[in-house]
Structure 1
Amino acid sequence: MTRFFTGALLCLMVLSTTSHAQSAKRKLTDREDLYGWEAIGRLDIGDQGFCTGTLIARDLVLTAAHCAVDKRTGKPFAPGKVTFRAGLSNGKALADRSVVQIAVHSDYGNHPHLSAAFVRADVALMRLEQPIPHSVADPFALHSGRVAGNEVSIASYGRGRSEAITRERSCRILQRRQGLITFNCDITFGSSGSALLARNGPRWQILSVVSAVGNDGRQKVGFGMELAGIVDELKADLRRDAPKPQASIRRLQVGTDKSSSGAKFISSGGS
């Protein structure tokens, strides 16, 4: 597995490379095209670039850790730095939401260089300032178990296709081993953080998150991680680290709910 890691990290958002036939991909530019894919959005990271993220709940976006951490500080981006733009198409999003909280895989910071261990930990979860209604974007569920026929799909933004989701209808898993998934989908800079999707009945579900690209000596290959248990841990981290609500104190007049500027006392006789 380690011999595949000869490519560049699909990180800061934009640069271009292609390998698959363009006929295998389709841009989702019309509202009808977007139906069922509205939960995929572009993650705009200030003026630094963008990645791709996917709603897994009305207020939670799954993406890659390297899309969530500021390289200069090694810490998650500050609240308000990242914006999730659900279903962005030709400059218009179905919903724009600021990211107010980020949880990153606990092992991510221990692997600063591209490696199998890096990819396995390259997962982050972002909480949005306000939920996006189901009527606007229906979140994707997580996939588990085997993938029939090893067929997967990917929908993402990328350099040269940054203004609309581009979906590759069918690509294939090449290997699942040691917590890693390799696949031959056509990914590029900006595709980082996008969901690798596997079909479960009529629905596509999230199997992995796009982390890196390399070469197996014959073709370009993408790398993602097994998600089992990771997302639940990140949700727990968000709950644990969520800002505590601020308590407020009001002084009330006796027998009313109107605020008073001072305390009121009741005599022992009740008057």
Structure 2
Amino acid sequence: MAAILAVGQVPPAEALDLERRRMLTATEHVPWRGVGRVNVAGLRDRSMCTGTLVAEDLVITAAHCVISPRTGKVQPVNDVYFVAGWRRGQKVASRRAIEITTHPGYAYAQNPGFDEIGADLALIRLDAPIPVAQAPFFAVGEPSEGKDALTLISYRRDRPHALTRQDGCDLRGSQGPVLALNCDVTFGASGSPIFADADGAPRIVAVMSAMGQDRATRKPLAFAVRVDHAMPEVLAAMR
């Protein structure tokens, strides 16, 4: 497959295709209100990632987004917040975490390999549900080779106050629960949902984990964990 480097340790591609990667307008933003920012606001750790509602009180994101890089341990729940539908100072809802569960096979690593990426998934239980009328949650689906290209929805550090949609994320390969995609990703995109169309409805099929290079072409690749593979084990580990 490819050499792996962690998200945040590889610069974005020098030339980005803006037709594939663009910020959503206010109207385009509405169907994606269930995607939000996962903010860590602790005394010593502060960070942002992207997360997605998969139930009214449950957010899916990358495990490394809720791990302290200083300690290697899960962040205190009081320091983790989910802000649904954040767009230029406006939000649909904000909730604090009351429970954070990472994949039982996940071990934090600054330069992850396939084992770490394949378990880089976490679920955040919110302190109160977010009603569907405010921010609908998304069902889980399966990626299918040969189907339409996938779509990445993310908050990027270079565009932290509005969602960016990137269409045409082609599947370049897979190894177990790990997908290799040709998406352009950068800081903040960790935990971002990757959607496939299923009978006209978006289904979340993977969560963005890391980025690296294709060994043969040296072109950037993005690596994501399949939700249908990893999520059942995280759910089983929840209290």
Give the TM-score normalised by the residue count of structure 1: 0.80
Q: In the alignment, which residue of structure 1 is the partner of 2:36?
A: 41
Aligned counterpart for 1:179 among listed residues 166, 177, 180 = 177
Offset from partner CA, 1:121-157 (integer Å, 9 cap, x none): 1110101111000001110111126255251000101
Q: In the alignment, which residue of structure 2 is the partner of 1:128?
A: 126
Name the CA distance, whole Å, in 1 between partners of 2:61 and 2:54: 10
Contact 1:16 1:159 in 2 (8 A): no
Contact 1:94 1:136 in 2 (8 A): yes
Q: In the alignment, which residue of structure 2 is the partner of 1:194?
A: 192
Contact 1:175 1:183 in 2 (8 A): yes
Equivalenced residues, count: 233
Q: In the alignment, which residue of structure 1 is the partner of 2:77?
A: 79
Unpaired stretches in structure 2, ≥5 consecutive residues: none
Counterpart secondary structure, 1:191: coil
Once the 2 structures are TM-superposed, how far is the Cα of residue 20 of structure 1 from its aligned partner?
A: 3.2
Name the CA distance, whole Å, in 2 between partners of 1:34 and 1:214: 29
Q: In the alignment, which residue of structure 2 is the partner of 1:246?
A: none
User: What residue identity is the alignment partner of 1:233?
Assistant: E
Max Rg structure: 1
User: What residue identity is the alignment partner of 1:10?
Assistant: V
Contact 1:28 1:89 in 2 (8 A): no
Aligned counterpart for 2:135 among listed residues 113, 134, 137 = 137
Query: Which structure has more strand as a fraction of its residues?
Result: 2
Counterpart secondary structure, 1:67: helix
Q: In the alignment, which residue of structure 2 is the partner of 1:236?
A: 236
Q: Does 1:157 align with 2:155?
A: yes
Name the CA distance, whole Å, in 2 between partners of 1:227 and 1:42: 19
Matches within 5 A, 1:44-83: 44-46=39-41, 48-83=46-81
Counterpart secondary structure, 2:185: coil
Contact 2:192 2:207 in 1 (8 A): yes
Contact 1:147 1:199 in 2 (8 A): no
Contact 1:150 1:173 in 2 (8 A): no
Once the 2 structures are TM-superposed, how far is the Cα of residue 225 of structure 1 from its aligned partner?
A: 1.8
Contact 2:104 2:237 in 1 (8 A): no
Single out whichever of 78-87 and 15-24 deviates more from structure 2: 15-24
Task: Give the fraction of aligned pairs with identical amino acids, expressed as a percent.
Answer: 33
* Change beyond 3 A, Cα 1:28–1:112: closer
User: What residue identity is the alignment partner of 2:237?
Assistant: D
Q: Does 1:93 align with 2:88?
A: no
* Change beyond 3 A, Cα 1:147–1:198: farther
* Change beyond 3 A, Cα 1:164–1:110: closer
Name the CA distance, whole Å, in 1 between partners of 2:18 and 2:155: 15
Counterpart secondary structure, 1:51: strand
User: What residue identity is the alignment partner of 1:134?
Assistant: V
Once the 2 structures are TM-superposed, how far is the Cα of residue 224 of structure 1 from its aligned partner?
A: 1.0
Counterpart secondary structure, 2:227: coil
Give the TM-score normalised by the residue count of structure 2: 0.90
Matches within 5 A, 1:213-252: 213-216=211-214, 217-238=217-238, 240=239
Name the CA distance, whole Å, in 2 between partners of 1:4 and 1:113: 10
Once the 2 structures are TM-superposed, how far is the Cα of residue 17 of structure 1 from its aligned partner?
A: 1.6
RMSD of equivalent CA atoms: 2.0
Q: In the alignment, which residue of structure 1 is the partner of 2:206?
A: 208
Name the CA distance, whole Å, in 1 between partners of 2:183 and 2:98: 31
User: What residue identity is the alignment partner of 1:132?
Assistant: I
* Change beyond 3 A, Cα 1:233–1:221: same
